């Protein structure tokens, strides 16, 4: 039938860990230990990528690469990436279970999606060892998916490559890319979905792109909340999102809308060309 068969969700910042804070502070800390002060914005910019790739992308940023050369008298190399990651992984693992609470509304929304007959897959920038912590702890709090895969299962080719989505489609027996929706909270998520040829949706509340804790967001005036959300929406759209939603609770209604578009012959935007 010409309708959506499955939804593939990101984890941190989309379905758990409001604001995607688990990795952010660790990225800041490992660079600080190396004598480099990085900003919250710089630490968040590559979010959603395999964490080794995330570190590499941070080191490529002009300001950070300049600080690195000033401190060490040379450009960074792959050994530096590996050294930073060797510090990152155990630091993250030690606190990861504390960042597995489902984002408000997610458990109910996923239940509704399953009642609609949809299969629920997932992709992540976490490694398998990290997900070995995340999955059972999130499950004990009511959130689970039908399938998940990490970049470890795609030869370390994580986002923005589309391969984790393809593995979901295979495992869940989803018949065509245009019958699949990918939902995420980072630019890397959006590009992953676009590159896979599926409907790519950015979620705002709780997202790494928004970059606020629940308390911080609630403390904003309504006008400031709307301004922050509008900025996040624009970032998603500029990077290839077909749609944005303010929260996961809007997803079931969006699926009804997409099914209507599919029935009219419309398909997702083509994969990004840059």
Q: Write out the catalytic residue numbers.
A: 10, 51
Q: Binding site for Mg(2+): what residues are annotated? A: 10, 12, 185
> Residue 187 in contact with residue 209, Cβ under 8 Å?
yes
Burial per residue of 19-28, b for 16 or more beta-carbon CB atoms within 10 angstroms, e otherwise? bbbbbbebbb
Q: How many Cα atoms are found within 13 Å in the side-chain-facing hemisphere of 88?
A: 26
Q: Where are the beta strands (DSSP E) in the chain?
A: 6-9, 119-122, 180-184, 199-203, 243-245
Q: Is the dihedral of CA 224, 103, 122, 10 positive or negative?
A: positive
Compute the distance between CA of residue 12 and CA of residue 19 in angstroms, rounded to an integer.
8
CA distances from 101 to 21, 98, 115, 125 (A): 12, 8, 22, 17
Compute the distance between CA of residue 166 and CA of residue 18 in angstroms, rounded to an integer.
27
**Residue count of the chain:** 274
Burial per residue of 130-157, b for 16 or more beta-carbon CB atoms within 10 angstroms, e otherwise? bbebbbebbeeeebbbbbbbbbeebeee
> Residue 51 in contact with residue 105, Cβ under 8 Å?
no
Instruction: Using DSSP, state whether 180 is helix, strand or coil.
Output: strand
What token pair was written down for 35? 């004598």
């Amino acid at each position: 039938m010409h309708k959506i068969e499955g939804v593939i969700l990101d984890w941190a910042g989309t379905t758990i860990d409001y604001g995607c804070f688990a990795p952010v502070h660790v990225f800041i800390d490992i660079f600080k230990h190396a004598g480099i002060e990085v900003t919250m914005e710089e630490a968040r910019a590559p979010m959603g990528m395999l964490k080794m790739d995330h570190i590499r992308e941070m080191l490529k940023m002009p300001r950070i690469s300049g600080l690195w050369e000033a401190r060490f008298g040379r450009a960074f190399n792959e050994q530096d990436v590996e050294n930073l990651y060797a510090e990152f992984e155990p630091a993250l693992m030690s606190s990861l279970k504390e960042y597995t609470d489902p984002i408000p509304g997610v458990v109910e929304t996923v239940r509704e999606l399953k009642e609609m007959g949809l299969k629920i897959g997932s992709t992540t920038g976490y490694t398998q060892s990290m997900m070995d912590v995340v999955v059972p702890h999130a499950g004990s709090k009511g959130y689970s998916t039908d399938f998940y895969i990490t970049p470890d299962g795609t030869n370390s080719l994580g986002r923005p490559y589309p391969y984790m989505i393809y593995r979901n489609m295979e495992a869940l027996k989803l018949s065509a890319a245009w019958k699949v929706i990918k939902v995420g909270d980072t630019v890397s998520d959006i590009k992953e979905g676009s590159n896979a040829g599926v409907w790519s949706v950015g979620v705002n509340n709780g997202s790494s792109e928004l970059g606020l804790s629940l308390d911080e967001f609630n403390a904003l005036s309504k006008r400031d909340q709307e301004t922050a959300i509008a900025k996040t929406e624009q970032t998603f759209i500029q990077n290839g999102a077909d749609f944005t939603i303010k929260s996961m609770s809007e997803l079931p209604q969006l699926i009804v809308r997409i099914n209507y578009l599919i029935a009219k012959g419309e398909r997702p935007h083509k994969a990004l060309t840059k």
